[in-house]
Every structure is written in C-alpha cells, then in structure tokens.
Amino acid sequence: MDLVVFLPLLLVMGAFMFFASRRQRKQMQATIDLHNSLKVGDLVHTTSGLRGTIARIDDDNVDLEIAPGVVTTWMKLAVRDRVEPAEDAAEATDELTAASTEEGTPKTEG
C-alpha cells in the first residue's frame, strides 16, 4: 500500500530532476561555446556587471580594457556574455535621447 503512494511521487521527482539537469547542461554548453569563441576586440559583460573590450586572452584569463589605457585582468569564467554591436548602438541612442531630454529643448536663434 505504501508503494502505491510513493511510486507516483518518485516518478514525478525523477522527471523533474531529468529536465532540470538537461537545462543545466544546455546552459553550461552555451557558456563553454561563448568562452571558446571570444577574441580580441570583443565587447563583453562580466558576471559583476563590468563592461569592457578584450585586449588579450589566454587559456584561463582575459584582459579587459574598461577605459582608454585602463586594462584589468579577469578569469575567463567571469565573462557572462558578448555585447553585440546592434545592442551597443541601441544603448548609445537611448543614452543620447535621455541626455537631450534632461537638457531641454535647445534654443534657436531667429
């Protein structure tokens, strides 16, 4: 009688664990693929939110230029994602729009 109660529970738990581990493997493979495809000049985000351009890369570390002439060394595992040029241009446009809104409407002579 106890087996009848626990068997469905075990099946549900087993299915949940199977799908959870499958999703985790896919995410891990995507991260590995990203790290293998990184190259000098790529604009990236780190897991701590820092944004920089790859200046040098080796097996375990990556040097990021975070400002002109400022290069920091990070573990390659700290790179979260690559910033695509289209995404970067959209963010710059949003920043310019916000800045012009704060300044108000420019005065014209006439």
State how many domains the chain has.
Answer: 2
Q: Is 34 exposed, middle or buried (0-12, 13-18, 19+ CB in 10 A)?
A: middle
Based on the fold, state whether residues 92 and 57 are members of the same structural domain: yes
Domain-located, residue 77: yes
Q: Positive or negative CA dihedral for 28, 71, 91, 37?
A: negative
- Per-residue confidence at 109, pLDDT binned at 50, 70, 90? low
Based on the fold, state whether residues 31 and 43 are members of the same structural domain: no
Three-point CA angle 81, 82, 84, nearest 5°: 135
Based on the fold, state whether residues 33 and 52 are members of the same structural domain: no
CA distance 44 to 46: 7
pLDDT for 36-84, tens place per residue? 999 999 999 999 999 999 999 998 999 999 999 999 999 999 999 999 8
State phi, psi for 68 to the nearest 5 degrees.
-55, 120
- Per-residue confidence at 110, pLDDT binned at 50, 70, 90? very low
Instruction: Indicate the pTM of the whole model.
Output: 0.59
The enclosing domain of 77 has a CATH number of 2.30.30
Domain-located, residue 102: no
